[in-house]
Structure 1
Amino acid sequence: MILALDALLVEKSVNGAAARLGLGAPAMSRLLKQIRELYSDQIMVRTAQGMIPTPFAESLRLRVRAVAAEAEDLTTHREERSPALLPEWKAGPIVDVVPLGYRPQNPLAGQPLPIDHAHRLAGIGHNADPAQRLAKHIATTAASVGNSRPLDADEAREAFAIILRGEANPVQTGALLATMNYRGLTAGELAGFVNASRAHIGAPSPGAGFADLDLPLYLSPRSTSMPWLLQAGKLVSQTGVRVLLHGFGTDVDQGKLEAAADAIGIPVCTSMDIASQLLDKHGVAYLPLRALMREMPNLPLLYSLFQMRTPVNLMLHLLNPSGACASLIGVAHPANQFLHRDAALMMGWRNLTILGSVRDVGEFNPYRPTTIYRVVDGKPSEVFVPSVSEPRLASSTGLTSLEYWQGVWENRVRDEQPRQIVIDTAAAALLSMRPEEESFEALREQAATLWRQRLTQS
């Protein structure tokens, strides 16, 4: 059963694991079922990217690999090797280095084994040059099949901290991010990136900061959508909740969000200290990413060089720079919704609400059935919300997008569709502030009341 689990973690496929062990797919499926029953965990979760290990399964990876390697050694003939002599001043490790991945069957004579690769990487210690330490992490996750594995949370944190401090070669940054994106980020790696970034900007722990609700607003590189989340955030602030929005616009229009915030009276901050002061005064504020750090702003904008988003874009949604007690985020890819929730649970977060979104922005789409994924008081939870009837599209107004967006807020443009999006997004934000389960319909009614009162409260 241990060998089956090891093969599943390496192959991330029932068929691949079965072929590696010389079994049929039905037999491997039965073994996976037995493993799930043994650990009371799904172990492998099927997603659009294939099967991915759960955080619990990732935590077992190295221990399972060590046991599997020992079993292989007991059943495989190996040529005796003369023991290497150690200098008198250097002692051997107390615990042997764990192999990185599954060893191919029938290795060639003299072929380096995974454990040899692991020993070489283990020789790069914490006192090594930052570029060498980052190279170690790149080799750990990007080497050939059988010689690689995902980074754990601590390794990912160290790797990204080196990048944030500007100690990495640009080639190394691209190699790490592209490799992780191709393989698929794990919850531990996402948690490591988030923790490194939060430490870099000095973010307080969730629940110990100067805001109550965190609303990230990081537009997709080619997004032309309107930031209705800003209006929802201002609605929620009318209840006395201190709401901090943070993010950045697209490559083409970097000032889009600043202009939109200013149009409806949301102050724009230039630093964390100013954000704290403005929240005390206005109850809502927008903090551009460039006000947080110098190194980070260029990383999310690597899309123009890669023509794809990187793990940095996924990490930004969990940044929570103000240390708010609750966050509402939007995640487009269904598999990443579980990824973000698992990472939040690993970091010990208490309250998080995740909306499915085509743009990775926490805006509610009331015109399709929606499952809201949550962390409630440190435990996973889900809420299903049925769809509502979609109104007819409003006729052309002849306004610019900013004029139209501002006109909806100021009641100069009557369009039922965006109004309902703002109201339901505000309802989801209110839900994220509730430690107990509450009727979404009741919160929708509360948000509708806030919408009707918005101009008298501004």
Structure 2
Amino acid sequence: MPARCRFRTNERKQIQELVVETVEAPGASGLNRLRLLVALDALLMEGSVGGAARRMGMGTPAMSRLLAQLRSFYGDPIFIRTGQGMVPTAFAESVRVRVRALAAEAEALLEGVPQVDMAAGARRPPVERSQAILPAPPLASRPVLKLEDQPMPEDIARKLALISESTDPRRKLARAIALIGGGAAGSRPLGQEEAEEAFSIVLEGQADPIQIGAFLTLLQHRGLTAVELAGLVSAARRHCGALPVGMRHDTLDWPAYLSPKLCLAPWFLHSARLVAQAGHKVLLHGHHGSIGWLNQAVTVAGIPVCASIRQADATLEERGIAFLPVTAFAPQVSALLSLYPLFELRSPLHKVVHLLNPLGAARSLLGVSNPSYPAQHRDAAQLLGWRDFSLLGTRRDVAQATPFRSTLVHRLKDGMSSEEAVASRPDPGGEARPALSSLEYWQALWKGQVRDERAHAIVLATTAFALQLCEGGSHGEGYSQALAKAGELWALRPVSK
């Protein structure tokens, strides 16, 4: 690039930065605030800060600062970052048409249409304009090839408004699908109430099967937000008759939705037994039946399997620990989970089940394997008003610690979120296993018939995290004390069971 061109480009960007500073200055004029709306239009049209910056002929840092000003001015994030990129918020979508109309009108005014002398009926020559310091920003929308009968954005908006007024459940669900599947420039995340209403339609059997597939697939493909997850969980909990969270203040909720592709030993069941031995009531819930050998382990361990929420509630009072299959308390959710073979990919239901908490336990202990999920689950739990919650980053979708690598724990304590890192300990390595089946070996560890330092450490670490949650401890000294107590409980366990 010639030196003169480079100079002019740099000069233009410096001027753009100066304009941004002027917008940010206290008491900025209405004209400069209008520039914020121009920036908002560019952001909504392009769907990214970089694209909007190119559209307006400025640097990306300058556009980022304009976005920050928009967020501050409106008190709204404007965009939410998901796995599929930046998605406009509900507020941003609500002003999209107005901002686009304003930008289009400004463009028309800047086109310099020849003026007409209405009295003389003759055209006057266009007014000679001095060269502006800044070139007019490109306000026009992207060129659209309008096919015959192709709806324009305004037509779609009117149709969505009509659908929102309809009482037909399928039309309401259609609106939700249109909102999340409208593409980069036309979609947005659902609000919590919108997600709850849409999923309620699915759970109540009022949706067309094709709508169910479209709804779940679009949410999964675009990336579920914590707000949407909270809405889906609310619908699922209401549908299955779950008790209000916090109703059972003495109970620990322990979801165990293991993938059927994993056949690893469920050492966490030994930990759950130790926590119950310590006097805390423990409700496990998850898949049961033909999936893996979790059902066999539950039976061998003597953990009662319940057929309803009411039975689980009574069993906890009597036995202190129970397992509640998802088919028993949420058959519709279980049926939706069974759609996995039709898609060969996970759906939002695989996140929802971890937060079902059917007995309304005051505390929940979760584990998820995907590193992008923990904060989302915690934030959704916080939106739902949960107070005490711990989530372990694990190798499987159940709270089972791996003490031989550092563990990041996402917590809610008295409703306040935090993250705590627990350092790893040396891995003692695997043990030479005797000629026992996996289930026999798993039970032999509890009975003291085999020695496996690695499995023993997993059981104690998992127990410690659960005790720490139940007894209100924090990281550091609290975890060390819980780990020591876990060792004492292990030494006193009833090996005959």
Q: TM-score band (shorter)? A: 0.7 to 0.9
- 1:224 paired residue number: 263
Name the CA distance, whole Å, in 1 between partners of 2:397 and 2:47. Answer: 26
Quickly say closer, same or farther: Cα 1:170–1:335, change in 2 above 3 A: same
Name the CA distance, whole Å, in 1 between partners of 2:156 and 2:178. Answer: 9
How high is the sequence identity, in percent, across the aligned residues? 42
Deviations 1:53-112 (A, max 9, x none): 7xxx8464445646644543542449xxxxxxxxxxxxxxxxxxxxxxx99534456874
Amino acid at match of 1:449: E
Amino acid at match of 2:410: Y
Which of 145, 165, 168 pairs up with 2:184? 145
- 2:315 paired residue number: 278
Structure 1 gap segments, 5+ residues each: 79-101
- TM-score, normalised to structure 2, is 0.78
Q: RMSD of aligned C-alpha atoms?
A: 3.1
Quickly say closer, same or farther: Cα 1:433–1:210, change in 2 above 3 A: closer
1:287 partner SS: strand
1:313 is aligned to 2:344: no
In the TM superposition, residue 141 of structure 1 has moved relative to its aligned partner by 0.9
- 2:59 paired residue number: 24
In the TM superposition, residue 365 of structure 1 has moved relative to its aligned partner by 1.1
1:364 is aligned to 2:395: no
Name the CA distance, whole Å, in 2 between partners of 1:295 and 1:377. Answer: 32
Amino acid at match of 2:103: E
1:114 is aligned to 2:114: no
- 1:405 paired residue number: 442
8 A Cα contact 2:90 2:189, kept in partner: no
Name the CA distance, whole Å, in 2 between partners of 1:389 and 1:52. Answer: 41
- 1:91 paired residue number: none
Quickly say closer, same or farther: Cα 1:444–1:45, change in 2 above 3 A: farther
Deviations 1:99-145 (A, max 9, x none): xxx99534456874434312201212465322222112111111233
In the TM superposition, residue 359 of structure 1 has moved relative to its aligned partner by 1.8
Quickly say closer, same or farther: Cα 1:39–1:361, change in 2 above 3 A: farther
1:454 is aligned to 2:485: no
- 1:75 paired residue number: 106
- 1:344 paired residue number: 381
Size of the alignment, in residue pairs?
A: 429
Quickly say closer, same or farther: Cα 1:61–1:240, change in 2 above 3 A: farther
Quickly say closer, same or farther: Cα 1:66–1:421, change in 2 above 3 A: farther
- TM-score, normalised to structure 1, is 0.84
2:433 partner SS: coil
8 A Cα contact 1:2 1:64, kept in partner: no
Please list, as runs of the form range in 1=range in 2, the aligned pairs for 1:202-351 lying within 5 A after superposition: 202-209=241-248, 212-249=251-288, 253-254=290-291, 256-351=293-388
8 A Cα contact 1:377 1:435, kept in partner: no
Quickly say closer, same or farther: Cα 1:345–1:42, change in 2 above 3 A: same
- 1:193 paired residue number: 232
Name the CA distance, whole Å, in 2 between partners of 1:163 and 1:341. Answer: 25
Amino acid at match of 1:417: R
In the TM superposition, residue 154 of structure 1 has moved relative to its aligned partner by 1.0
8 A Cα contact 1:103 1:146, kept in partner: no
8 A Cα contact 1:211 1:323, kept in partner: no
1:367 partner SS: coil
Larger Rg over CA atoms: 2
In the TM superposition, residue 285 of structure 1 has moved relative to its aligned partner by 0.5
8 A Cα contact 1:213 1:244, kept in partner: yes
Quickly say closer, same or farther: Cα 1:403–1:443, change in 2 above 3 A: same
1:443 is aligned to 2:482: yes
Name the CA distance, whole Å, in 1 between partners of 2:252 and 2:234. Answer: 19
Name the CA distance, whole Å, in 1 between partners of 2:42 and 2:438. Answer: 53
- 2:222 paired residue number: 183
Quickly say closer, same or farther: Cα 1:335–1:310, change in 2 above 3 A: same
Name the CA distance, whole Å, in 1 between partners of 2:443 and 2:228. Answer: 39
Amino acid at match of 2:353: L
Deviations 1:244-299 (A, max 9, x none): 0000059xx33622211111121111111110111001111000111113222121
Deviations 1:6-64 (A, max 9, x none): 766786654344345544333334445666777999887878x36567xxx84644456
1:154 is aligned to 2:218: no
8 A Cα contact 2:403 2:458, kept in partner: yes
In the TM superposition, residue 373 of structure 1 has moved relative to its aligned partner by 0.7
Amino acid at match of 1:268: V
1:15 is aligned to 2:46: no
Name the CA distance, whole Å, in 2 between partners of 1:411 and 1:11. Answer: 63
- 2:170 paired residue number: 131
Structure 2 gap segments, 5+ residues each: 1-35, 110-138
1:429 is aligned to 2:466: yes
Amino acid at match of 1:258: N
In the TM superposition, residue 233 of structure 1 has moved relative to its aligned partner by 1.3
8 A Cα contact 1:217 1:229, kept in partner: no
Moved more, 413-422 or 280-289: 413-422
2:456 partner SS: helix
Amino acid at match of 1:237: A
Deviations 1:215-243 (A, max 9, x none): 00001241122222222111111121111
